[in-house]
Amino acid sequence: RKEVEQDPGPFNVPEGATVAFNCTYSNSASQSFFWYRQDCRKEPKLLMSVYSSGNEDGRFTAQLNRASQYISLLIRDSKLSDSATYLCVVGGSGNTGKLIFGQGTTLQVKP
Amino acid sequence: EPEVTQTPSHQVTQMGQEVILRCVPISNHLYFYWYRQILGQKVEFLVSFYNNEISEKSEIFDDQFSVERPDGSNFTLKIRSTKLEDSAMYFCASRTVTSTDTQYFGPGTRLTVL
């Protein structure tokens, strides 16, 4: 089983649509969870951390289900500028802080 | 806003040559990382560095790789004898103290081995 698994997509959606991405992780001892965004040939940039209680940042909502080892990201009212690859990222179980990345889900928002 | 910087942005080298990739982490950060991303693949952890020593390394980080913090600002990744399969984007990252803190990534160095 992959350490962090995502549907690679691509997801092609019209502007204004709501889109959801899912991710599963294999290590139940993981302590930290993130969604990063990566534009083509650029560095990953933190979109948001994910907490057990769920958290929201503007149009973005992230959820964590520890029992199912499942993480989600919901994007409402999609913008053209949201087109990117969304990386599900899990912190390793040790205290070195290494990050384990999923393959990424590609989103293309069309006018 | 402080940022992680990396040089060069693109390095082309011949197979078997040594390369050194350079990074300047954010100044008050204490943990430093190297990751790589082969074209079309996921970002992979290589090594973490804290208190002037390696704290964790992956299977990819074999004897051909080494890291160093030669002064108070730079953090380098050396590949002793490059192979074709080392061609990738190499990202440096840094963070503060807590393991759940955000890691900030540099813009990357694209390494091409011919």
**pLDDT, tens only, A17-50:** 999 999 999 999 888 899 999 999 899 999 999 9
B27 in contact with chain A, both atoms CB, cutoff 8 A: no
Give the pLDDT confidence score for residue A96 in this predicted structure.
Answer: 83
Give the pLDDT confidence score for residue B34 in this predicted structure.
Answer: 98
Task: Determine the longest span between alpha carbons in chain A, in angstroms.
Answer: 44
- A1 vs A84, which has greater pLDDT? A84
- Give the integer Cα–Cα distance in Å for B92 and B58: 15
Give the chain A residue whose CA is nearest to the CA of B6: A43
- A96 vs A71, which has greater pLDDT? A71
pLDDT in tens, B75-109: 999 999 999 999 999 999 999 876 567 899 999 99
With a CB cutoff of 8 Å and minimum separation 6, the contacts of A67 are none
Q: Are A42 and B103 in contact (CB < 8 Å)?
A: no
Q: Are B56 and A98 in contact (CB < 8 Å)?
A: yes
Mean local confidence (pLDDT), B16-28: 95
Mean local confidence (pLDDT), A89-104: 88
Q: Are B42 and A99 in contact (CB < 8 Å)?
A: no
Q: Are A44 and B55 in contact (CB < 8 Å)?
A: no
The distance of B38 to chain A (nearest Cα, Å) reads 11
Structure tokens, B60: 């990819």
A52 in contact with chain B, both atoms CB, cutoff 8 A: no
- A8 vs B82, which has greater pLDDT? B82
Give the chain A residue whose CA is nearest to the CA of B99: A97
Under 8 Å between Cβ of B71 and B84: no
In chain B, positions 51-70, which contact chain A (CB-CB < 8 Å)?
55-56
pLDDT in tens, B48-61: 999 999 999 999 99
Angle (CA) A99-A100-A106 rounded to 5° is: 115
